Amino acid sequence: MSKQIIDNRAENTFRTSQQFVENELLSENHGKKIAIFIVTYNAVTTLAEVLNRIPEVVYKNVSRILIFDDASGDATYELALGLKSTLPHADKIEVFKHPKNLGYGGNQKAGYQHLISEGFDVAILLHGDGQYAPEFLAELYHPLVTGEADAVFGSRMMGDHGGPFRGGMPLYKYLGNRILSSIANLTLRMNLTEFHSGYRAYNLHALKNIVMENMTDDFHFDTEIIVKLHHLNYRITERAIPTYYGNEICRVNGLKYAKNVTRSLRRYQQTVRGDRSFPEYQEFQPHYSLKESEGSSHVVVKRMIGSGKVVLDIGCGEGSFAAQLREQGNTVSGIDVLASPAHRDKMEQYYQVDLDQGLDSCLTEIQGFRYDIILLMDVLEHLRNPSQLLLQLRSVADPGTLILCSVPNVANITVRLSLLFGRFTYSEKGILDKTHLRFWTGSSFRRFVEENGLSVRRKTSSIIPMELVLGLPHQNVVCRVLNFSLRVATRLMPGLFGYQTILICSLSNNSSGSQAFSAGLPDRVADAS
């Protein structure tokens, strides 16, 4: 970069940043241990100017300036060592060089892990290529040290300092930034002016709770970290920064970056919906995925239950289905092995029980309530001794209580075709979920519950959840077309196309309550009494 370009840039940013440079109060660290984290790659022509432009009041208030060189092919590392020995605040500068290139995201991961292990409170990410103005460092870390935010992003789109075009942002980059930011805001239900600025400050106590191991090493790491902070409800704010585009080499392939960002957002959506689990977001995969398509077990059961019922949801997981039933006007209690289900507040009572050991630990308590409906949805196939649980229900249910049980249909066409070709392969989810210990067809499941003291009032089948198979929203036109076809096929041949067998049971042959209940069963759901 020529001296003239550097001088022009410094002049342009000085006028807009002078108020911050001279503001001691804004730069105050409030007792926090602050680090400036500079990522560099082939920045031999720009690094010195970046360090020289850090305001004196910022130097006084930060604890360390860490330069992480990502195996540059030029003399960036050697220059950094030389600057460390000559600059006035050399004692605060540390220089690291990776033996091999880790990538933009990989370099950040290494830096944050180092800072967290060293007990720092705040990290400000600054690029060594000079694209972001060091004069604004205090503006970024101030909301963190005062407890106003957990992450602060510099935005070139806010317009306070001339906007993106004044700083030379090309039109195609501006349009790309706007489009990608709009997609991200729509996907995440956020309202950031810019998702793609690399000028950021983080509360390291928040980053400590971000699982970075499987996050990308590429440039869309910045998007993934926003996704994770937002998912965990950390406070994110923005600060306006000036835009600068000089003659530095751009190392971002725009089309590849756009593809990776949209792909990452889609993978996040699919993971949190439970459609699929991707490694970078696997910690957000729900404990149990609700099925939302027409004809699915959850939609069918919700309609059958209606409102105004007292429900005991055995095997409630995080309580997602219980929360939906409560929204319909029901009172729901739950039982599961989880210590603190996500939707505990939606349940009237919650009992932590290992269902493999039966209901002994909570039996006395739940016997004190009268339940209209007891749910055993996708539970029995996970137990070593499901008969024990069914037999215990006889001391919990009243003669008028309806018991809804659902299990996967091992005779489904997908399993039959696999067997035809000699395959019986367990998977992460579905009928052959690797956690399933028992398998039933529709008829064998009916015999099983009857042998364990229940009277079957009605048998029905749910459809294959194509939204989970395809990893698409259930409202997607492809899913809707396939869903309709499967509802027809399942109604005609439930034993072949049924995904789950759903039984409506009671303790006695008195069917008065169950007849009224069954009247609400959707006609389009397959029924085989």
Parallel, antiparallel or unpaired: strands 331-336 and 350-352: parallel
What is the rounded CA–CA span in Å between residue 382 and residue 191? 42
What pLDDT does 143 receive?
Answer: 96
Could you tell me where the DSSP H helices lie in 393-441? 413-420
Domain ranges of the chain: 3-170+191-214+229-247, 297-527
Parallel, antiparallel or unpaired: strands 64-69 and 93-97: parallel
User: What mean pLDDT is predicted for residues 404-411?
Assistant: 96
What is the rounded CA–CA span in Å between residue 225 and residue 14? 31
State the pLDDT confidence band at 2, using cuts at 50, 70 and 90.
very low
User: What mean pLDDT is predicted for residues 236-262?
Assistant: 81
State the pLDDT confidence band at 470, using cuts at 50, 70 and 90.
confident
Tell me the percentage of the chain whose pLDDT exceeds 70.
Answer: 89
Parallel, antiparallel or unpaired: strands 200-203 and 151-155: antiparallel
Burial classification of residue 395, based on how many CB atoms lie within 10 Å of its CB (0-12 exposed, 13-18 middle, 19 or more buried): exposed
Lowest mean pLDDT among 195-204, 231-240, 273-282, 506-515: 506-515
Burial classification of residue 525, based on how many CB atoms lie within 10 Å of its CB (0-12 exposed, 13-18 middle, 19 or more buried): buried
User: What mean pLDDT is predicted for residues 136-155?
Assistant: 95
Query: Contact, 151 vs 167, CB < 8 A?
Result: no
389 φ, ψ (degrees, to nearest 5) = -65, -45
What pLDDT does 290 receive?
Answer: 73
Q: How far apart are the first and last CA of the chain?
A: 80
Dig out the tokens for 270 from the structure: 């699919």
What is the rounded CA–CA span in Å between residue 182 and residue 161? 22
State the pLDDT confidence band at 82, using cuts at 50, 70 and 90.
very high
Dig out the tokens for 215 from the structure: 């996050």
> Residue 500: which residues within 8 A CB-CB, separation 6 or more?
297, 378, 406, 407, 408, 409, 461, 462
What pLDDT does 248 receive?
Answer: 54
Whole-number average pLDDT of the chain: 87
User: What mean pLDDT is predicted for residues 416-437?
Assistant: 90
pLDDT digits (tens, 9 = 90+) for 159-201: 777 777 777 788 888 899 999 999 999 999 999 999 999 999 9
Residue 53 has pLDDT above 70, yes or no: yes
User: What mean pLDDT is predicted for residues 371-395?
Assistant: 94
Same fold? 3-170+191-214+229-247, 297-527: no
What is the rounded CA–CA span in Å between residue 499 and residue 306? 23
What pLDDT does 3 receive?
Answer: 42
Spell 403-417 as b/e; 16+ CB within 10 A means b: bbbbbbbbbbbebee
What is the rounded CA–CA span in Å between residue 334 and residue 324? 13
Parallel, antiparallel or unpaired: strands 402-408 and 93-97: unpaired
Residue 244 has pLDDT above 60, yes or no: yes
Tell me the percentage of the chain whose pLDDT exceeds 90.
Answer: 68
What pLDDT does 508 receive?
Answer: 63
What is the rounded CA–CA span in Å between residue 288 and residue 343? 12
What pLDDT does 525 receive?
Answer: 38
Residue 62 has pLDDT above 80, yes or no: yes
Superfamily, domain 297-527: Vaccinia Virus protein VP39 (3.40.50.150)
What pLDDT does 526 receive?
Answer: 40
What pLDDT does 288 receive?
Answer: 63
Q: Which residue has the higher pLDDT, 248 or 511?
A: 248
What pLDDT does 164 receive?
Answer: 78
What pLDDT does 289 receive?
Answer: 67
Is domain 3-170+191-214+229-247 classified as CATH 3.90.550.10? yes
What pLDDT does 353 receive?
Answer: 95
What is the rounded CA–CA span in Å between residue 191 and residue 186? 8
User: Distance of CA 494 to CAs 214, 460, 500, Å?
Assistant: 41, 8, 9
What pLDDT does 159 receive?
Answer: 74
Query: Contact, 273 vs 174, CB < 8 A?
Result: no
What pLDDT does 14 receive?
Answer: 46
Sheet holding 331-336, edge to edge: 350-352, 331-336, 310-314, 373-377, 402-408, 500-506, 455-462, 526-527
Dig out the tokens for 353 from the structure: 């029980």
User: Distance of CA 237 to CAs 148, 255, 438, Å?
Assistant: 9, 27, 50
Residue 402 has pLDDT above 80, yes or no: yes
Q: Which residue has the higher pLDDT, 512 or 343?
A: 343
Burial classification of residue 528, based on how many CB atoms lie within 10 Å of its CB (0-12 exposed, 13-18 middle, 19 or more buried): middle
